[in-house]
Amino acid sequence: MAPAPAPSASSSSSSYSNSTTTGPSPVFKRRRVVEEDDTPKYSYDDLDDDQDQSKPAYIPLKQRRLMELEKLHQKTRGLPLGSTLSKAKQKQAEEEDEEEQDKDLGVQRSKQSLLDEARRLRELESQKEEKSQAEKDAEEERKILEAHAARRKLASDLELAKGINYTEPIKTSYRPPRFIRQRSEEENAKLREKNHIIVDGVNVPALITNFRDMKVPQCVIDYLKTKNIVKPSPIQMQGLPTAFSGRDMIGIAFTGSGKTLAFSLPIIMFSVEEEKKLPFVRGEGPVGMIVCPSRELARQTYESVKAIAEALVQGGYPQIGVLLCIGGISMAEQSHTMSKGFHIVVATPGRLQDMLEKKKFTLECCKYLCLDEADRMIDMGFEEDVRNIMNFFKQQRQTLLFSATMPKKIQDFAEQSLIQPVIVNVGRAGAASLDIIQEVEYVKQEAKMVYLLECLQKTAPPVIIFSDNKNEVDDIQEYLLLKGVEAVAIHGSKTQDEREYAIRSFKSGQKDVMVASGVASKGLDFNEIQHVINYTMPKEIEDYVHQIGRTGRSGKTGIATTFVNMNTNEQTLLDLKYLLMEAKQRVPPFLAAIEDPRMAAGGKLTSCPVCGGLGHGIKDCPKLEDNQRRATAGFSRGDDGGGGW
Ligand SMILES: Nc1ncnc2c1ncn2[C@@H]1O[C@H](COP(=O)(O)OP(=O)(O)OP(=O)(O)O)[C@@H](O)[C@H]1O
């Protein structure tokens, strides 16, 4: 029999032992060995050999079973006890761990199941509602549009502050002939349909299909004839009687359709009437204003107003004064007109605001305001300028907004700013003129310049080439001059003299080609442009519509060629594809191949409310992006307008 081990230092701390050093062997052979992990362990020797000698008073059942198991195991397999024990212990620990984990998992599971539940409920709900993707998109678009359109009304701060809210249109002395007044609504509707005119608004004045019935003075009719204007265009048929009647109006018609006459003849006639009543003297005026987004457009409008005013003088009507109010012209020139009293101001917003602030003239008796290319003016950051100008009005005014591209966003914005407005639409807002043959060609970036020369052979001059980059405009002009082509260039960094020279020499036919940046030539009416070449496809489809609109004007046919390549944004190409389809133009295979993701998702073709493009929704609108980028960067005005406005 093995001697009972002496208590060792290592075990003494926890061994049950007699502290006596003398006398018989220790009573307790079985000892509790405490190891590092404090788990009780039993010496095999003690258990086996000393079983009958010294039995512990009580061994719990669990332990006894373990012991039995160990013994059995040892006998059958001959495995060391420690390993079996530790395995058993491990198992037990694992079981305990599992229990612990289960407790944790229980919490986790219950958390996860809540999420699952929420997801499941959401799925159920969405199944219940079963909204199509298109419906969801439409809803989202509506929300973006609402957020985007949440602006103040286009009214003066004074009116807003005083809570002035005009509800009735301005009264004028104009009365159409009796037979027109007696025409039934059905007849009017038929006539509108025949002329592709769509109107919206209350008590829309009847359209009139000839100038005489509109009571346009004979001398003006004669003058218009000299300009080959014999019959009113659809926008004039509806727009002139509407404006003559004093109604606020939003006029939308394609490029080159005669909008200028539609808004300038009424202001001329009102001025003549006022002058007849009581002649204007120094310091008096104006009666009305026409505000344009660019100097060139303002000058062009000024010239056409002056020409009609001159025709009226020839016809025995009183002389009316017209003031051109744009940057880059001398104050002396303007002072001369102002010294006599004047009736009409044609202006760009910046210079107009400046002159009003300097009290060069007041708007005390001004009752007529027309914003030409209104949407572009607002897009270009002139909204605040226009609002400031409104502050100078002292009474109710008649407001007219005109453009070829008037996206829904601007229409909505304008509608709430006008008084019982009449909306006159000829064709879809933003659609291209049907008098333009549109050709789109894939030309690699590096091949563009050379191909341009070839392209110029398509038609006789005059030709306009557009590029959206000032440096490129200069490069193209230089290249053409080198090749012997008579070309002029115009962009926002040119001086006023250079810009005027370019326009004059091109208009008079001295120069065959004009290379221009988009902004500099919007709305300009050049004589019978044969061909417009978009050297670079503009990012925004509205710009494309305005640019190609320099040809195919007043009923004549023109050609537009547009270069695209892999640098052209796919979404812009999609806009272009739809525009070509709408105008029944040939769609080249590379454009036809571009698929519309909205169609694939079961959507339907609608125009973007922000820019009017057909190839995207408001969420992907490049113009909205651009506006936001400008707003973030603190820009307010058009890219190359710099100093030009
Ligand atoms: N009734 C008409 N019949 C024939 N030609 C017309 C008529 N009215 C205007 N025109 C001519 O059509 C040309 C284009 O007119 P205008 O510049 O007013 O177009 P627009 O609609 O303002 O175009 P844009 O949107 O590009 O500014 C001008 O040369 C003008 O003299």
Q: pTM for the full model?
A: 0.70
Quick check: 239 and 262 in contact, CB under 8 A? yes
CA distance 434 to 7: 113
CA of 258 to the centre of ligand 1 (A): 3
Q: Please name the residues in contact with 388: beta carbons below 8 A apart, sequence gap of 6 or more.
A: 353
CA distance 536 to 544: 10
- Give residue-wise pLDDT tens across range 379-392: 777 777 887 888 88
What is the structure's pLDDT at 645?
23
Quick check: 292 and 347 in contact, CB under 8 A? yes
Q: Whose CA is nearest to atom 12 of ligand 1?
A: 554
Question: Which string of DSSP letters, residue by residue, matches 32-80?
Answer: PEE-TT--EE--HHHHHHTTTT---S---HHHHHHHHHHHHHHHHH---
Candidate from 214, 525, 543 with most ligand 1 atoms within 8 A of CB, to mutate: 525
User: Which atom of ligand 1 is the closest one to the Cα of 404?
Assistant: 25
**Strand 531-534 relative to strand 487-490: parallel, antiparallel, unpaired?**
unpaired
What is the structure's pLDDT at 380?
73
What is the structure's pLDDT at 562?
97
- Report the 10 Å Cβ neighbour count for 617: 21
CA of 462 to the centre of ligand 1 (A): 18
- Side-chain-facing half-sphere of 34: CA atoms under 13 Å: 11
Ligand 1 pocket (Cβ < 6 Å) reads: 227-229, 231-233, 236, 253, 255-261, 404, 523, 525, 549, 553-555
Encoding tokens for residue 198?
């769509």
Quick check: 264 and 425 in contact, CB under 8 A? no
Candidate from 521, 553, 556, 557 with most ligand 1 atoms within 8 A of CB, to mutate: 553
Candidate from 260, 308, 527 with most ligand 1 atoms within 8 A of CB, to mutate: 260
- Sheet architecture: strand order including 322-325: 197-200, 422-426, 249-253, 398-403, 368-372, 288-291, 344-347, 322-325
Using a CB cutoff of 8 Å and minimum separation of 24, what contacts does 87-92 make?
Answer: 89/39
What is the structure's pLDDT at 171?
82
ipTM exceeding 0.95, yes/no: yes
Domains of the chain as residue ranges with CATH: 41-77 (no CATH), 157-426 (3.40.50.300), 436-633 (3.40.50.300)
Sign of the C-alpha dihedral, residues 176, 177, 183, 188? negative
Distances (CA, A) of 334 to 279, 331, 361: 20, 5, 11
CA of 203 to the centre of ligand 1 (A): 27
Q: Which residues of the chain have pLDDT under 70?
A: 1-62, 69, 72-115, 125-134, 136-138, 140-165, 409, 413, 416, 519-521, 599-603, 627-645
CA distance 102 to 105: 5
CA of 558 to the centre of ligand 1 (A): 14
- Give residue-wise pLDDT tens across range 338-392: 888 899 999 999 899 989 998 989 998 899 999 998 887 877 777 778 878 888 8
Q: Whose CA is nearest to atom 25 of ligand 1?
A: 255
What is the structure's pLDDT at 87?
52
CA of 554 to the centre of ligand 1 (A): 5
Candidate from 259, 290, 375 with most ligand 1 atoms within 8 A of CB, to mutate: 259
Q: Whose CA is nearest to atom 9 of ligand 1?
A: 258
CA of 222 to the centre of ligand 1 (A): 17
User: Which atom of ligand 1 is the closest one to the Cα of 233?
Assistant: 1
Helix (H, G, I), strand (E, B) or coil at 382: helix
**Strand 288-291 relative to strand 322-325: parallel, antiparallel, unpaired?**
unpaired
What is the structure's pLDDT at 434?
92
CA distance 377 to 347: 12
- Sheet architecture: strand order including 513-516: 436-442, 558-564, 531-534, 463-466, 513-516, 487-490
CA distance 289 to 355: 13
H-type alpha helices, 391-529 = 408-415, 448-455, 470-482, 496-507
Q: Whose CA is nearest to atom 19 of ligand 1?
A: 256
